[in-house]
Amino acid sequence: MSGWTTTLRPGLPLTFDGEQFTVAEIEGRRVLLQQVGVLGEPKWRQVDTAMLLSHPTTRILLDTPEPETAVATVLGTLSEDEDDALTVKYRHVQEVLTGYRLGCAELALEGEPRPAYASGVPMMRRYAAKANELGVGESTVRRWAALAESGPAGLVKERPTTDVLDRADPRWLDAAREAVARYVKASRPVRDLLLLEIEERLAEKQRDADKNGEDAEKVPSPARTTAYAILRALDRGTNAFTGSTKGKRSIANRPQGAYGRLRATRPGEYVILDTNTLDVFAMEPVTCRWVQCELTIAMDLYDRCITGLRLTPVSTKAVDVAGVLFETVRPHSPVRSGSAEALPYCGIPANVVVDPRKLVDAAVNGLPLLPSVAAETIVFDHGKIYLSNHIRSVCEKFNISLQPARPYTPTDKPIERWFRTLREGLLAALPGYKGPDVHSRGEKVEEEAFFFIDELEAIIREWIVLVYHRRHHRGLVIPEFPKLKLSPLEMLEHGINRAGPLTIPIRPDTVYEFLEEAYVTIQHYGVQHDTLIYNGDALNDFRNKPSSVRGPEAGKWPIAIDSGDVTQVYFQDPQDKRWHSLKWEHAAAMDGPVSREAAGYARRLATKTHRFPDTRRALVELLDRWGAGLTAGAAERRMAVRLSQQRLRLLGQGQATDDAAALPTARRVAALYADTVQSPRVVEGSIEPDPALTGAEDLGGDDDEDEECDAPFPGDDQVSLAEEEDFYADAWESR
């Protein structure tokens, strides 16, 4: 009997179910156990043999041999030729021990047993005969016979290790691992410099040890080639020296042990929220600018169905994430979402899993990312806690808890893989696709065709509904039928049939509590928020009346606002607690929802440029330009009227009576003309008289004579002008 087995007998010590026993009696399949070390009367326990040996707590308290490498592992390292040679060697050993190569008389080959190995031949003579037959020493045959007690695997030679890490000093390896770990979040290091850094750090430790009087042995450094091989071994699976540095950081964040997984047992049990930047450019419809888009989605973990999404330009805001969860609780109709059909409804989620790094929006000074939908207590990195009574009340009403995923643990967020599916399945085929990184980006991507943001969201929704929800998903498995291929919609139907009905709100209007809140006054024309006026019949009983609200918003009425559609707001009647929709006064002229950002940009543009004239504002500006503003007094207005008369004149005051001949230039020209007035032609240095300076009789008219019409046009002949210096000599003279 080998050291790996023993006999189930009375007196055998063992532990079972956390207590120590001794086998007292064996009767058939039943074993009677006596507890050891109990004062007073002994305690007994009877168990079935199969139950005793199959129980995970059962341990036999005997000396056991040291653990060995598994037989399958030892034999699996052999090549086909080596395996054939091992079979032949083992048959030789069996012939020495039994006289038969196959180990028994029933399987005897022709001519077996041979005389040298027949029954009755001493073992030493058998060893000698086999040694002479194979040309090896007798001690080798005896060693084979001893190793064969473990079967053919015992005859396999122990191969020396080929791990390059075993060829270096363990202290040098520890220093190398520390040096590589320091560059996880840094740029990729150069191998030569890293090896130099390792040597310097080890030398520094040696100097510190000598200074403190410690007897420390110098750490030997491996050869240059070996050191490079060790760095290649450390790089394997870490991206330390190859691959992308982003992948290096992601690999470093992986759990070091077995990967855990959040498992859902029914639809709606866990809903995962996440936001990611899309690898495609889009056009913002209001500003007509190229923008990057961020997509926020909610995914049901059980069936991988997308239950809500929102595409936002540049960055995601808190209200966008709240809107996604709002759609999860209250699905949008296909008309509003712009898709062929609505996203599947998985019920009110019991838990919402989010990335705690995204619970704080750095763009808004650290405000909670989920102001209307969050857990009672949200713990962010290093103990940042956000608690809101509004959040707690809404979530308690719907029995929703928020569960943050572990920070920097990619395996806790399987939704990350969905964004890759979206990129490879849809975005890569769209114009404006820029690739996942700068190395994959094409040239002049912005010059391609493009989609507006709302069009891109409609395309993504349609792809989800028509493609993603209907195709095979490898992550969906029914344990009873592991080979069955399932789509997210089929898994949703299976979960409903298996786990029962979904959780839905009793009153659909209670979901309005997820929306952000604002306080306004109710006037005779309705309510005004962000310069937009809303009205409805629900305000009839509250117009021009203060509310019972106290505090900073005393006297004002609360309304709920969906930032994705500002064409309507929601008002809760304080008497019957029902919600009512208040329409924007110009909503009838719109064919779809208008976001708050679009309306805000339109207002800023109008305020900045006055693109569309406002008659009242134009009147104010007109009067201000003419000095008679609406705030001026009577005397100021009379003065403005008198000043305006000067503005209306084509010539300034007093200039109408001035004689043109009084101008200095005109006097000089007249003097030149006086010397040559008798001659119709001028000599060198003179000019033709200006008709404006002559009498009316010099001017031509419609009743010209024939000889006047045939006369040459003044200026046709070359006429010399006055010298330039003389002409501008009096330019600086004042009158």
Write down the pLDDT at residue 495: 85
Q: Could you tell me which residue, 436 or 374, shows the higher pLDDT?
A: 436
Q: Each residue of 63-77: pLDDT tens digit?
A: 877 777 777 877 887
Residue type (1 letter), 627: G
Q: Are 482 and 475 in contact (CB under 8 A)?
A: no
Quote the tokens at residue 634. Answer: 């009577």
Instruction: Give me the torsion for CA of 547, 553, 556, 559, rounded to 10°.
Output: -110
Q: Could you tell me which residue, 593 or 243, shows the higher pLDDT?
A: 243
Write down the pLDDT at residue 504: 73
68 CB-near residues (< 8 Å, 6+ apart)? none
DSSP assignment string, 647-661: HH-SS-TTGGG--GG
In three state form, how does the secondary structure of 245-284 look? HHHHHHHHCCCCCCCCCCCCCCCCCEEEEEEEEEEEEEEC
Task: With cut-offs at 50, 70 and 90, classify the pLDDT of residue 726.
Answer: low
Question: Which of 376-385, 415-424, 507-516 has the highest mean predicted lDDT (pLDDT)?
Answer: 415-424
Cβ atoms within 10 Å, residue 198: 23
Q: Secondary structure of the chain: what % helix, strand, coil (to 5)?
A: 40, 15, 45
Task: With cut-offs at 50, 70 and 90, classify the pLDDT of residue 700.
Answer: very low
Question: Which of 405-409, 503-507, 604-608 has the highest mean predicted lDDT (pLDDT)?
Answer: 503-507
Upper half-sphere CA count for residue 224 (Cβ side, 13 Å): 4
Distance of CA 355 to the CA centre of its chain: 10
- The answer, yes or no, to whether residue 521 has pLDDT greater than 90, is yes
Q: Each residue of 144-172: pLDDT tens digit?
A: 888 888 888 888 887 666 678 888 888 89
Q: Are 357 and 407 in contact (CB under 8 A)?
A: yes
Write down the pLDDT at residue 455: 83
- The answer, yes or no, to whether residue 389 has pLDDT greater than 90, is no
Which of 47-56, 219-228, 482-491, 637-646 comes out lowest in average pLDDT?
A: 637-646
Q: Each residue of 632-649: pLDDT tens digit?
A: 555 554 454 444 444 334
Q: Each residue of 331-347: pLDDT tens digit?
A: 776 655 555 566 776 76
Write down the pLDDT at residue 380: 28
Task: With cut-offs at 50, 70 and 90, classify the pLDDT of residue 525.
Answer: very high
- 126, containing H or E segment: helix 123-134
Q: Are 400 and 348 in contact (CB under 8 A)?
A: yes
Write down the pLDDT at residue 355: 56
The whole-angstrom separation of Cα 307 and Cα 538 is: 32
Please state the φ and ψ torsions of residue 518, each to the nearest 5 degrees. Answer: -140, 155
- The answer, yes or no, to whether residue 99 has pLDDT greater than 70, is yes
Which of 225-239, 567-581, 658-672 comes out lowest in average pLDDT?
A: 658-672
Average of pLDDT values for 478-496?
86
Shortest CA distance to 202 belongs to which of 180, 187, 186, 217?
A: 217
Q: Do β-strands 351-354 and 360-361 pair in parallel, antiparallel, or remain unpaired?
A: unpaired
Shortest CA distance to 532 belongs to which of 592, 599, 469, 468?
A: 599
Write down the pLDDT at residue 300: 86
Write down the pLDDT at residue 378: 27
Rg, the chain, Cα only: 48
Task: With cut-offs at 50, 70 and 90, classify the pLDDT of residue 667.
Answer: low
Average of pLDDT values for 33-62?
87
Average of pLDDT values for 606-632?
50
Mean pLDDT of the chain: 73
Average of pLDDT values for 697-714?
50
Average of pLDDT values for 405-428?
72
Percent of the chain at pLDDT exceeding 70: 62
Q: Each residue of 209-268: pLDDT tens digit?
A: 888 877 778 888 888 899 889 888 888 877 778 777 766 776 666 655 544 566 777 888
Q: Are 60 and 16 in contact (CB under 8 A)?
A: no
The residues spanned by each domain of the chain are 13-60, 71-155, 164-252, 270-499, 515-606
Write down the pLDDT at residue 439: 57
Output the CATH code of domain 270-499: 3.30.420.10
Average of pLDDT values for 48-58?
91
Upper half-sphere CA count for residue 536 (Cβ side, 13 Å): 18
Q: Could you tell me which residue, 726 or 66, shows the higher pLDDT?
A: 66
| Count of residues making up the chain | 735
In degrees, to the nearest 5, what angle opens at C-alpha 310 toward C-alphas 304 and 315? 120
Quote the tokens at residue 468. Answer: 């993603």
Which pairs from 502-505 meet CB under 8 Å and 24+ separation? Answer: 502/267, 502/268, 502/345, 502/346, 502/347, 502/348, 503/268, 503/347, 503/348, 503/350, 503/399, 504/347, 504/348, 505/329, 505/330, 505/348, 505/398
The whole-angstrom separation of Cα 7 and Cα 11 is: 11
The whole-angstrom separation of Cα 89 and Cα 420 is: 55
Which of 43-47, 344-348, 645-649, 691-695 comes out lowest in average pLDDT?
A: 645-649
The string over 630-664, giving b where at least 16 C-beta atoms fall within 10 Å of a residue's C-beta and e elsewhere, is eeeeeeeeeebeeeeeeeeeeeeeeeeeeeeeeee
